[in-house]
Amino acid sequence: QASSSTQPAQANEDEVVLRKLHILPLKEADKKMKGRQRMEFLAETLRQLRSTKAVVCSGHLVKAREAEFVVIKCEPPQGCLGMETDFFVDGAPVICFQKIQFSAWGPTALSSEELFNQYVRPFFKGEYSPYGTTGVKRVRLLYAGQVVQVGDVSLQVEATEPQGLGMVSTDTEIFANWDTTPEFEKVHILPFLDTLPSAYQYELFGDYLKPYLMANQHKKYQHGELFSYQGVQFKVVACEPDVVARIGKSTTIFCQGHLTPTLRNLLPPHLMNQVAQLPQGLQMLLLSSERTTRELEEMLNQRRGLFPQTIQEIETFNWPPPNAQASQQRTCMVCLEDFELAVPCRRLPCGHVFHQSCVDEWLRRCTDCPICKANVDRAIRNY
């Protein structure tokens, strides 16, 4: 028979009934269900928890048949199940981390070993022991970027492997070091004009920027960083020093001006760095297109262009064109340089000509002509 893996305390006459309960399976348990409905597994166990008036809260482990679930969130934070409790079971399954990295702030006189033994290890002891510990009843749910307070030390989850919402198990490798990230001396942050309120007056720094910075005191920023607060989107347009750093008490913050929502302004730093490594003309073609940021990221990272053997099927010649109807083009629109005598060129089925090396780089990322957007792949295959 399905049952809870805990022996929870019984609620008293002043019991609190949960309005909402979000519960998800562990990743391994999700595989066991083989596509069957999660509520099908949970129904009997939830009825049992309700009848026994068991008190549940975030991190509570619940076993239903052969599958194990974790309570993600409750509203209010702790209480019993009732007839009016709404259950939510949608979401990615909870993972067990293979590795997790913490950064810490606090009494830095301690060594990294002392940090681990005095703060990190106790964080995963007792009631919140790692998953897999005999008799474990609750686990700590963690994710990258999360900050937790352990005594007088703040611990931030810097990275996890794999990524996502998960928990530490007895097999997880845990790393912890004191954070040495510097603070900016100066930082200039601008809002995007189209995200600013137009129906009422506001004070940009006091109403938007300051509350965000106060709520994210440990966040790291870099030149080009994008973030949003209550519908207003901001971008870090300049910083001293120009490194990854934090905004601290001694940082001078400028926020005069605004940005227009061009693709160049909307690109996050890692994409802008990739674009900057491309030829100048290719940068212009990418940034002046009507592609969204997500489409551009897919083009840069996943490179869903033509296969090398398909590219090799496209006509090549050494400038000038050998036929009588010479191209009216004199400039490669990828690198923005004029064609020189005997330089290898490639003519796409639509008739546009480019330096061979330039257009090959483009075609490895995109199947369309850089100029007219005609689909090269379909033209070659006579679709």
* Domain membership flag for residue 100: yes
Report pLDDT for 292: 55
**Do 193 and 257 fall into the same domain?**
yes
**Do 147 and 206 fall into the same domain?**
no
**Do 200 and 166 fall into the same domain?**
no
Task: Give me the domain span that covers residue 170.
Answer: 95-178
Q: Is the CB of residue 62 less than 8 Å from the CB of residue 49?
A: yes
pLDDT > 90? residue 14: no
Report pLDDT for 354: 92
Q: Phi then psi for 115, rounded to 5 degrees? A: -55, -45
Report pLDDT for 176: 93
- Pseudo-torsion of CA 316, 317, 319, 320, nearest 10°? -110
pLDDT > 70? residue 330: yes
**Do 374 and 288 fall into the same domain?**
yes
CATH (domain of 340): 3.30.40.10
Can you tell me which residue has the tokens 């995109």?
366
- DSSP 3-state assignment of 29? helix
Q: Is the CB of residue 89 less than 8 Å from the CB of residue 42?
A: yes
Q: List the Cα angle 182/172/74 in 5-degree steps.
A: 85
**Do 357 and 317 fall into the same domain?**
yes
**Residues facing 105 on adjacent strands:** 154
Q: Phi then psi for 184, rounded to 5 degrees? A: -65, 145
Nearest alpha-carbon partner for 361 in 279, 272, 297: 279
What tens digit of pLDDT does each residue of 210-261 get? 999 998 888 899 988 889 999 999 999 899 999 999 998 899 999 998 887 6
* Domain membership flag for residue 268: no
* Domain membership flag for residue 266: no
* Domain membership flag for residue 269: no
What tens digit of pLDDT does each residue of 97-142 get? 999 999 998 877 788 899 999 999 999 988 889 999 998 899 999 9
**Do 302 and 352 fall into the same domain?**
yes
Comparing 88 with 66, which gets the higher pLDDT?
88
Instruction: Work out the pLDDT band at 9, boundaries 50, 70, 90.
Output: very low
**Do 8 and 37 fall into the same domain?**
yes
* Domain limit, last residue, from 88, 113, 146: 88
* Domain membership flag for residue 274: no
**Residues facing 252 on adjacent strands:** 186
For residue 329, the tally of other CB atoms under 10 A from its CB is: 17
CATH (domain of 238): 3.10.330.10
Count of domains observed in the chain? 4
What tens digit of pLDDT does each residue of 255-284 get? 998 887 665 666 666 666 666 666 665 666
**Do 286 and 357 fall into the same domain?**
yes
Quick one: the chain helix, strand, coil %, rounded to 5?
25, 30, 45
**Do 192 and 158 fall into the same domain?**
no
Exposure on the CB side of residue 324, measured as CA atoms within 13 A:
0
* Domain limit, last residue, from 63, 88, 113: 88
Nearest alpha-carbon partner for 46 in 58, 63, 25, 67: 63
**Do 99 and 83 fall into the same domain?**
no
Residue 297 backbone class (left: φ over 0; alpha: ψ -120 to 50; beta: rest): alpha
**What's the CA gap between 68 and 32, in Å, rounded?**
10
**Do 369 and 298 fall into the same domain?**
yes
